[in-house]
Chains A and B, each alone.
Chain A
Amino acid sequence: MSVVIILILASLAVALLFLAGFVWAVRSGQYEDTLTPSMRVLADDPDKKVSETKSKNK
């Protein structure tokens, strides 16, 4: 039954990995502003837009 030790250690390792990810996200300011990023994605990539209009003109 000592396999359970490996399982526990593995699950803890995964959990710690996620915790580290969370800490990194908070530290890098991702929780500071949760509204603007949702608006930012709605604007199209400008370069793509330009190339599209160019190809239309051709």
Chain B
Amino acid sequence: MQPSSAKIDRPSGGCFHCGEPCPDDRFVTAEKVFCCFGCQTVFSLLKENGLEQFYELNASPGARVRNDGAAARWKFLDDPAVQGKLFDFADYVQAKVTLHLPAIHCIACVWLLENLFKLHAGIGRSLVNFSRREAAITFAPDKIKFSELAALLASIGYEPLLTLGETEKAKPSPLNKRTWLQIGLAAFGFGNIMLMSLPFYLGLDSFNGPWFRVMSGWLGLALALPVVTYCAADFWRAAWLGVRQRVLTMEVPIAIGLAAIYGVSIVEVLSHRGPGYCDSLCGLIFFLLCGRLFQRRTYSRLTFDRDYKGFFPLSVVRKTPAGEESVAISRLQTGDRIILRHGELLPADAKLVSGGACIDYSFVTGEAEPVACGINQHLYAGGRQVGGMIEVETVKPVAQSYLATLWNNEAFRKNRDNDLDSLTNRYSKRFTRLVISVAVIAAGFWIFRDAAVALKAFTSVLIVACPCALALAAPLTHGTAQRILARFKIFLKNAMVVERMAEVNTIVLDKTGTLTTADARGVEFQGAALLPDEERWIASLARCSTHPNSVRISKALGAAAFPVKEFGETPGLGIEGEIGGHKVLLGSRAWLGNRGIIPGAHFPVSGSGVLVAIDGQPRGAFALENSLRPEVEQLLAQLGGRFELALLSGDNEREAARFKKIFGEQATLRFNQSPADKLDFIRELQRRGRKVMMVGDGLNDAGALKQADVGVAVVEQIGVFSPASDVILDAAELPRLARVLEFARRAAVIVRAGFVISTGYNVVGVSVAAAGLLSPMVCAILMPLSSVTVVLFASGATAWVGARIFRQRKSDNSFKKSTDELRPVATSMEAA
């Protein structure tokens, strides 16, 4: 990632298009310097088409064009079967497609993509959804093919991300619209009926005579009818489901209360006794809907339920006798020869046919070091090729690969989101029984004295006890907590996660990628100190390669770049090149040996190391250790006292002693763990009754993350791949984990306090009602008041606690607007 200052100042060395440093002045157009041919081409293209405003909206707004935009890569998109899955709409004249473009990052991107029609006559309207990083593009298939459209987008730096999961996702449902309509209609009913009821509350109705009372009563009933039927539909459904499954969920007493209020209102209007309680009824439904909306916020840019299909590309390059062709993964068959280039993911288990394979399995196993593989060796799906091009032959279908089998585990089939065992439901069981018995006892007491009062007492108890305030306590608290955490780049899948997090007593951590990271720290040169010039030569050479070790070395040394001549790379083993007349080699001991350079045994290389030779002389070695993330030791010390800790690693036991010291004596440390081992370990803990939080990063943790009560995915870059989880945590925020857990625990306390408050209101109301003394006035004030109190208390107290817990440290950057791109949107996913 570029430091932001480089983007704002646009120093003379930065690329005019993307802001990355330019190694030389080879690419110059119209006095602007570019880092590469791709950026230069985009600039020329935009200039030709009168789109230079792109560069005025933001300094260096472009995305670097990484792939050379070979149009053949997109050929598979012209397959009607693939198009059928991707298109939102298509006929002979035009087609509409919504594409995920991860490169969208600023206003200029939105502007450029919405002016796409200026680049090609076949493109019609395009509409960007920034928070989803999506563009909906209408185009004429007879003027521009879909593959050409994709190639065009890729050529200007917005390469569409087409994964296998993308084709299967459900199209956006109209439920979101429905939630808004329900809330709007409830607010409409609430406001208008309230307006008409005001004269009664103020005792002014006698001015107008009895007909006024009757008329406003009927109007109220009429306005409330759509609110009760349409807006509250979900409550009726959920309550009915609860009754059928014999579970007293919170919806049951709510539905009873709502029915009682509407029933009593009808009776009152019919018998000309009063205008009913339709205003309170609509108000309650409105509050309840707001609470639900609050609870169901999600982050549209993040995917919490990604399975292996979300990681696989939509197509691979297949080699046939006729040449290379791009083929959709779903059509890949056993025995097909496929070609993988640098950075591409192997979608099925395969064996190597040709090329220097160096496979990075960090995604699957957590092992940090790429593995060099020989011809005919078995390669596992999920591995990523590092280095040159390889050719492999698939030996298993995609769905049966090593990686896909993990998802067949039963852990992935359960759905915990409709949690019947939530704090609210546990409370509501007791609450409902109590209310109904109070109502029956009150009715039984009055029935022999005065039948009318008995009915009134029975219904008033049900009305007053309607646990709307109770139902609001948890959603409001958890929703507020979720919003506060998002400010610190800690994203919760839904509000319920807060509650589960409060109950955690065991924390299991993954090592590679979670606690440790491969970055510039941990790179150490051993040997006589390098001269500044030598450092720059090595950095320039390392910059040419994409092997993780080269990337780390070039990062550690800095970005000073000289042109490199005669660059050569043996994938996974070493690189060489000539810089300013000096021959520089970086690579393994054996590789240098093959080139006649025998470093003495005194070159100490522990762990993984890269040897350096300059002008045929061994010069020293870089030792590369995975370094602990900053503040991890403090975090573990904080957690150690309060939680049972465990470490699971796919790595070998090389670093066991080091982690024993950090984790303390009681902690369980396990190495050489396969993804299935990790899952089983979590399940074993749960069998012992522990509530487990798993903190991991890669696909190798996917099973454990899903099995754990709370799965936390640690990611380097928000919005990029993360396995299915409950929480997505920015890696830099890992040290806050202890605070997050503390916050969740306090939130649970706040929910309980909210229960106490609303129960207090109910006790007062019910005792008045049971005595048969409840007046419409008291009823009308008490019901909304209790809801409002709980709403204010829950959100206020949570915000206050959150501010106190997170205030203490990092106050300088904590209020940076980090979440504007990740603003929560209410996405309603029906629970019932």
Contacts and interface: CB of A to CB of B under 8 A. Distances in A.
Interface of A: 1, 4-5, 8, 11-12, 15, 18-19, 22-23, 26-27, 29, 31-36, 39-40, 42-44, 46, 49-50
A42 B107 contact: yes
B188 A36 contact: no
Given A1-B207, A15-B191, A46-B115, A33 B130 contact: yes
Contacts of B176: 31-32
Given A8-B219, A43-B57, A27 B131 contact: no
A39 B107 contact: yes
B813 interface: no
Contacts of A19: 184-185, 188
B53 A4 contact: no
Nearest to B132: A33
Nearest to B178: A26
Given A4-B208, A11-B195, A50-B50, A35 B184 contact: no
Interface string B44-64: 000000100100010000000
Contacts of B57: 42-43
5 contacts: A12-B219, A19-B188, A34-B825, A43-B110, A46-B115
B192 interface: yes
Given A4-B212, A11-B195, A35-B823, A27 B177 contact: yes
Interface of B: 50, 53, 57, 107-108, 110-111, 114-115, 128-132, 172, 176-177, 180-181, 184-185, 188, 191-192, 195-196, 207-209, 212, 215-216, 219, 820, 823, 825
B413 to A, nearest CB: 31
Contacts of B191: 15
A35 B192 contact: no
A36 B115 contact: no
A44 B184 CA distance: 34
Contact of B180 (A1, A31, A42, A46): A31
Contacts of A49: 53
A29 B209 CA distance: 46
Nearest to A41: B107
Chain B interface mostly helix, strand, loop or mixed? helix
Contacts of A34: 823, 825
B53 A23 contact: no
Contacts of A23: 181, 184
B177 A26 contact: yes
B49 to A, nearest CB: 11
Nearest to B820: A35
B111 A43 contact: yes
A32 to B, nearest CB: 7
A52 B108 CA distance: 20
A8 B223 CA distance: 13
Contacts of B129: 32-33, 36
Given A39-B107, A43-B111, A26 B130 contact: no
Contacts of B50: 46, 50
B192 A26 contact: no
Minimum-distance CB pairs A-B, first 8: A43-B111, A36-B130, A33-B129, A22-B184, A26-B180, A35-B131, A39-B107, A19-B188
Contacts of B216: 8
Given A12-B192, A39-B110, A40-B110, A26 B219 contact: no
A50 B115 CA distance: 15
A44 B208 CA distance: 58
A39 B129 CA distance: 10
Given A18-B188, A19-B185, A26-B184, 17 more contacts: A1-B207, A4-B208, A5-B215, A11-B192, A19-B188, A27-B177, A29-B177, A31-B180, A32-B177, A34-B823, A35-B131, A39-B107, A42-B107, A43-B57, A43-B111, A46-B53, A49-B53
B187 to A, nearest CB: 9
Nearest to A34: B825
Nearest to B823: A35
Contacts of A5: 215
A8 B215 CA distance: 11
B107 A43 contact: yes
Contacts of A32: 129, 172, 176-177
Contacts of B820: 35
B115 to A, nearest CB: 7
Contacts of A26: 177, 180-181, 184
Contacts of A42: 57, 107
Nearest to B300: A33
A15 B53 contact: no
Counting chain B CB atoms within 10 Å of each CB, the highest count among A8, A39, A42 belongs to A39
B181 A44 contact: no
B131 A36 contact: yes
Contacts of A8: 196, 216, 219
